[in-house]
Structure 1
Amino acid sequence: MKPTIALDADGVLLDYHQAYAGAWERAFGSRPVLRDPMAYWPMDRWDVQRVSGAALAQLRSCFDESFWSTIPALPGAVEACHRLVDAGFRLVCVSAVDARFAAARARNLAALGFPLEDLVATGNEVAGVSPKADALSKLKPAAFVDDFLPYHLGVPVHIHKALILREPNGSPNTGPGLAAVDSLHANLAAFVESWLQGPTPEHRGAAQ
C-alpha cells in the first residue's frame, strides 16, 4: 500500500486570502485593497473594518457553498502535489472545514487539478488538541502538512509534522509549540523538495 501524506487545504493548497477578499466584495460591493502583504490573517492583510451585527451576518452569509467551491490554488501547490504522487505517495486532504461544506471543498480541489484520493472534514473546534488529531490517528500518514501550529497539537508522534510558516505578521506559528514540529517550510513546494530529498525511504518515495 502506498504511504499517505495528509495535507491541509487553506494556506497549504488554497489561497484563502484571495477568497476572503472575494467574499468581502460579494457582501459589501467593493473589493478591499491590500494593507499588509505579510499578514497571516486575512482581516489584517486586507484594508477592512471589523464588522458586527447585521454587517457581520451579511459577511458570514457569503461563506457559502459557492465560496467553498471556488477558492483558487496557491502558486505551485498543484505541481507540488503531482510530484508527491509521481514519487509514489497517496494524498489525502485533512481540512478543518465544516462537514456541510466538505463536498464543495472536494469539488473545488478536484476542479483545480489536485491529485487527492480523499478528503476528511474535521470541523475547527479546538479542545486542548488539534481537531485533526483523531482523523490523523486513523489515517496514519507518513507526514502531515499544515500552516497553523495549533493544528499540530496532539498529532501522534510517529507522524512527521511539517509546518508551513507563510506570512509572518501576526502569525500563530511561534513560541514553544514549535518544539513539537518536525520541519518548517515556506510553502508546500519547499516541503516537497525537502521530503523527496530526505535520508529515509519514506521521504524519498514509495516508488524509489
Structure 2
Amino acid sequence: MVKPIIALDADGVLLDYHIAYRSAWEKAFNHCPSLKDPNAYWPIDRWNVRKLDGDELVHFRRFFNEDFWRTIPAIDGAIHACNQLHDAGFELVCVSAIEFKFENARLENLTNLGFPIRRVIATSSTTGAMSPKATALNLLKPVGFVDDFLPYHRGVSPTIHRALITRETNGTPNIGTELDDIDSSHKDLRTFSNWWLESSPRLSS
C-alpha cells in the first residue's frame, strides 16, 4: 500500500535554526551572543547581534556551509511528533528552501538526529506570487504540508491541507489576509501531530 505523504518544512518546524544561527555567529566572531527577545521570529532579532553588511556579512555567510546544515539541533518534541506520524502510517518528506548543494547535508542532519525521514526536496528560497515550494508540493501530492512561513503556502494546491506553525510572534511574517488560505494553525509540530492524528483515521503502516 502506498503511504500518504505529509510534507514538512525543516527550519522552524523540525530544526532549531535559532540555535544554529547563534552557533555560526560564535564561530565567525568568537563571541556567543546573548538572548535579546525570546519571542522573536527572526534570529537577528532574537539574539543580541548587530546587522552586518559588506565584508563582515560575506565572512559570516562562509559559516553557513555543509557542516552548518549537517548539525542543526532538533526542536523540542519534533522527533517524537514525526515518529507519531510515521507510526500512524504516513511517509514524511522534508521540503526545504535550501540550496540544492546542501540537500544531502540536510538529509544527513535529519537522519543523524533520528527523524524517520528518508527524503529531502530542496527548492529555491525566493518568494513571489507563488511559493518556491509550490511546484514540488503540487507534484508530490502530500495529504498535508506543514511550514512556519506563511508565504511558502502561496500557490499550494487547496487539495493539500496547509498547516501553519505560528511559533514566535514578534516580527512574524505570518499575518494578513493570506491567513484565510491556511487550513489549520499550530504552535509547533507536536501540537500539529496530536491534532492531525485525532482528526484523521489511523492508517496501517
* TM norm structure 2: 0.98
TM-aligned CA deviation for residue 120 of structure 1:
0.3
In structure 1, how many angstroms separate the alpha carbons of the residues matched to 2:128 and 2:179? 19
**What's 2:159 paired with?**
158
List aligned pairs for 1:83-122, cutoff 5 A. Answer: 83-122=84-123
In structure 2, how many angstroms separate the alpha carbons of the residues matched to 1:107 and 1:116? 10
TM-aligned CA deviation for residue 60 of structure 1:
0.5
In structure 1, how many angstroms separate the alpha carbons of the residues matched to 2:145 and 2:202? 15
Cα deviations by residue, 1:53-88 (Å, 9 ceiling, x for unpaired) = 111111001101110000000001001000001101
List aligned pairs for 1:1-208, cutoff 5 A. Answer: 1-198=2-199, 203-207=200-204
TM-aligned CA deviation for residue 206 of structure 1:
2.1
8 Å Cα contact 2:34/2:48 also seen in 1 = yes
Q: Which residue type is aligned with residue 96 of structure 2?
A: S
* TM norm structure 1: 0.96
Q: Which residue type is aligned with residue 92 of structure 2?
A: L
Equivalent residues, number: 204
8 Å Cα contact 1:35/1:44 also seen in 2 = yes
Structure 2 unaligned blocks of 5 or more: none
TM-aligned CA deviation for residue 125 of structure 1:
1.4
- Runs of 4+ that moved beyond 6 A: none
8 Å Cα contact 2:107/2:118 also seen in 1 = no
Structure 1 unaligned blocks of 5 or more: none
TM-aligned CA deviation for residue 148 of structure 1:
0.2
TM-aligned CA deviation for residue 126 of structure 1:
1.6
In structure 1, how many angstroms separate the alpha carbons of the residues matched to 2:152 and 2:27? 30
Cα deviations by residue, 1:69-111 (Å, 9 ceiling, x for unpaired) = 0000000100100000110100000000110111111110100
In structure 2, how many angstroms separate the alpha carbons of the residues matched to 1:38 and 1:175? 19
- RMSD (CA atoms): 0.9
In structure 2, how many angstroms separate the alpha carbons of the residues matched to 1:42 and 1:112? 22
- Identity of counterpart residues, as a percentage? 54
In structure 2, how many angstroms separate the alpha carbons of the residues matched to 1:165 and 1:4? 22
TM-aligned CA deviation for residue 204 of structure 1:
2.7
TM-aligned CA deviation for residue 30 of structure 1:
0.7
